[in-house]
Amino acid sequence: RISEFDFKNTVVIDNTFYQSCATAVTCDPSSKYRTINGSCNNLLNPLWGSSGTPYIRLGSAFFADGDHQIRFQSSGNKLPGPRELQLAISTISPNIIDVPEITNVHFTQMGQWLAHDITLMSPDLSGPSDCCAIQNSDDIPPQCQAVITIDPMDQVYLMFDVPRRSCLSFRRAMTTTLNFNCSITPQIPINQATAFVDASQLYGHNNIKAASLRSNVDGKLKTEMINGQRFCVQQKRNSTFCDGRDNVCVCFDHGDVRNNQNLGIIIYGELFLRLHNHIADSLKLINPNWTDEILYEEARKIVIALNQIFVYRDYLPLLFGEDYSENSGLTLSKFKRTVYDESLMPQVSTELSAGSFRVPHNIINTYYSLVDENNKVLNVLKLHEFMMFPDIIVENKNLEYILRGMSLNSSRYPVASYNLGISNFMFHNMIKNIADSDLLATDIQRGRDVGIPPYIKVRELCGFSVITSFDDLLKILSPTAIGLLKLYYEDVASIDLIVGSLLEPIIPGAWFGETTRCILADGFYRIRYGDRFFCDVQDQPGSFTDEQFEVLWNLNLTQIFCAMSKIDQLPSNFFMSYGNSEMIDCEELSLDLQLWRHSTNG
């Protein structure tokens, strides 16, 4: 191994799905554009990284029956309850207030925007609508077999006015065996997103969705005027994701089902949509003879490249720490091009999606502030009370006021616990069996649901020293953290990945501990070097010229979000909070697309 995250040669790719269950695709090797679903990126293995394919496992699966049943502790006893673990973690780490950081809420929001691009482990929504309601029946369907128990004496729920219940809804992730007609043991979930950073959360992860979002005129995505502003179109009512609360009138139809989830992610979806249409307009001015198809694909290609630049040049170095990011080949540089590696599997791992990339849930803020042009705080909204509630965004200048608040407000310091709101009242105003959920308990359960290896196994995979007892942990974790683990787990081998990871000390300059860093570095390496269409890869049919790449390189999120909204100022350093970056006046987007003139024949 060249570094701790170098799993390239150790991970075993199970080919069952590709050989026995997938329909063959034929690729056009000369195509300049990536497909919508990610197929044909890798010409030798055309389905690698595409939506609807299984996650990879970096380590072996952990199930009690070797197939799908949730694992037990070494003694055979049940694992500690996820809800109890969450409550315990919040007692040893402050979770009442948001401890400020130098980064702002955009740093958090970019993380979620990126997560929605690369991974979608859909829960199985078929069968009973309320899994908790059927727990006494003799025949509980698989998707309902992992609901989370709530203790009748639950200290938080007892204190607050929420309906009394003994169970939190949890639906198991869809697997190839149970949901996709492809029997694989141990069971493996399907990634419904394309694994590449290809803005699929904006365009749709599959052809049907993507086609439904296109206007089919001049390369643009569909929009709708609401209160004099341009937004994306709305979904039909009765969709699971918006009808949760009866006072919701607005529900956007985006590329990813999660794009209405909170006020921040909605704004990102809207602004990137406007960016696509702005670029399509600009391209049309330069190339009036280009068809709708060419305009769409060329605009899409630029939006994808910009997303990759913002992720690899701006976000990841901040997340990992600059040195580590650079030394691991993650940082994007203007001078050193990415060399495509067709042997590298560009797929997200279960360890990342059901574990490590959820660790940044601990920096989610409790509040969104609405801040006006004079820096006056007009309103403060609790994130968990305004989930799946886009109505707020379309009123007055709320989009701009929230954007400003996100820029000025600090993100939360990464303590082990998540904020109190999403730990107890997530989806507060949704229908009864979804409302008042617990994100950390859900994350713990999700890791077990898809059988990711426990904490110490993942550490071993990363090449860290082998742990055989709680005492061995003294080299890594604080005595308080170990005390907590001992109280809940019978043995060190049973500790869940996310629990151990959240308790690890934060690496200076990064936002998490070493185990999270290792798993995330693997993931972001794969989906960059394994992406034939990565924005700075050369000598592929669709590669940008050096000059074109330079035009894109000169853009940043501040310029784009400035130009795509009516906001008057944003921080010069987009991810830095008030006092850590000056606010600069917004300008029109200076995006000169002359270099795109006739580069494609219309």
Q: What is the binding site for ligand HEM (CB under 6 A)?
A: 108, 111-112, 115, 119-121, 123, 261-262, 264, 353, 357-358, 360-361, 364, 422, 439, 442, 446
Residues 193 and 467: beta-carbon distance below 8 Å: no
Q: Which does 115 bind (CB under 5 to 8 A by kind): ligand HEM, Ca ion, none?
A: ligand HEM
Smallest gap, in angstroms, from Cβ of residue 65 to Ca ion? 33
Residue nearest to ligand HEM (CB): 111
Q: Is 245 or 300 the residue whose CB approaches Ca ion more closely?
A: 300
Measured from the CB of residue 196, what is the shortest distance to Ca ion in angstroms? 5
For residue 396, how far is the Cα from the chain centroid?
29
Report the residue number, 101 or 198, with the smaller CB distance to Ca ion: 198
Residue 120: contacted member of ligand HEM, Ca ion, none (CB under 5 to 8 Å, by partner type): ligand HEM
Would you call 577 helix, strand, or coil by DSSP?
coil
Give which of Ca ion, ligand HEM, none residue 360 binds (C-beta under 5 to 8 Å, depending on kind).
ligand HEM
Identify residue 160 by its one-letter amino acid code.
F
Distance CA 297, CA 502 (A): 41
Q: Give the nearer residue to Ca ion in terms of CB position, either 85 or 197.
A: 197
SS (H, E, C) 325-361: HHHCCCCCCCCCCCCCCCCCCCCCEHHHHCCHHHHHH
329 contact choice in Ca ion, ligand HEM, none (CB below 5 to 8 Å, kind-dependent):
none
**Closest CB 198 distance from Ca ion, rounded Å:** 5
Which of these, 317, 360, 311, 430, lies nearest to 105 by C-alpha position?
A: 360
Upstream peptide bond of 186 is cis (omega within 30 degrees of 0): yes
Partner whose footprint covers residue 353, from ligand HEM, Ca ion, none (CB < 5 to 8 Å by kind): ligand HEM
Query: What tokens were used for 114?
Result: 């990126």
Q: Is 347 or 353 the residue whose CB approaches ligand HEM more closely?
A: 353
Q: Where are the alpha helices (DSSP H) in 96-243?
A: 105-118, 155-159, 176-179, 200-203, 207-213
117 binds, among Ca ion, ligand HEM, none (CB under 5 to 8 A by kind): Ca ion
φ and ψ of 14, to 5 deg: -80, 115
Under a CB-based contact definition with an 8 Å cutoff, are residues 174 and 180 in contact? yes
What is the phi/psi pair of residue 150, to 5°? -115, 130
361 in a labelled binding site: yes
Q: How is 108-130 classified by DSSP, letter by letter?
A: HHHHHHHHHHH----B---S-S-
Q: Which does 439 bind (CB under 5 to 8 A by kind): ligand HEM, Ca ion, none?
A: ligand HEM
Residue 504 is classified by DSSP as S
For 89-103, letters b (16+ CB in 10 Å) and e give bbebbebeebebbbb
CB of 527 to Ca ion, least distance (A): 8
Nearer to Ca ion, 527 or 576 (CB): 527
Structural element, H or E, at residue 225: strand 223-226
Closest approach of ligand HEM to the CB of residue 82, in Å: 11
> Are 584 and 571 in contact, with CB atoms under 8 Å apart?
yes
Minimum distance, C-beta of residue 258 to Ca ion, in the bound complex (Å): 13
Q: Least distance from C-beta 519 to ligand HEM, angstroms? A: 11
364 binds, among ligand HEM, Ca ion, none (CB under 5 to 8 A by kind): ligand HEM
Q: Which is nearer to ligand HEM, 442 or 501 (CB)?
A: 442
Note whether 234 and 252 are within 8 A (CB).
yes
C-alpha span between 597 and 602 (Å, rounded): 11
Q: At what angle do helices 439-449 and 82-92 cross, to 10 degrees?
A: 130
Pick from 171, 257, 194, 277: nearest CA to 589: 277
Q: Which is nearer to ligand HEM, 295 or 458 (CB)?
A: 458
Q: Which does 198 bind (CB under 5 to 8 A by kind): ligand HEM, Ca ion, none?
A: Ca ion
Cβ 398 to Ca ion shortest distance, Å? 29
Give me the sign of the Cα torsion angle 463, 467, 473, 474: negative
Q: Taking the complex as a whole, how short is the minimal distance between the CB of residue 346 and Ca ion, in angstroms? A: 10
In angstroms, the Cα distances linking 155 to 381, 414, 442, 581 are: 25, 23, 18, 41
Which residue's CB is nearer to ligand HEM, number 130 or number 341?
A: 130
Identity of residue 170: F
Distance of closest approach, residue 251 Cβ to ligand HEM, in angstroms:
17
Nearer to ligand HEM, 253 or 443 (CB): 443
The residues that touch Ca ion, with contacts defined as CB under 5 A, are 117, 194, 196, 198, 200
Among ligand HEM, Ca ion, none, residue 104 binds (CB under 5-8 Å by kind): none
The nearer residue to ligand HEM, 62 or 357, going by C-beta atoms, is 357
Tell me the binding residues for heme b.
361
Tell me the binding residues.
361
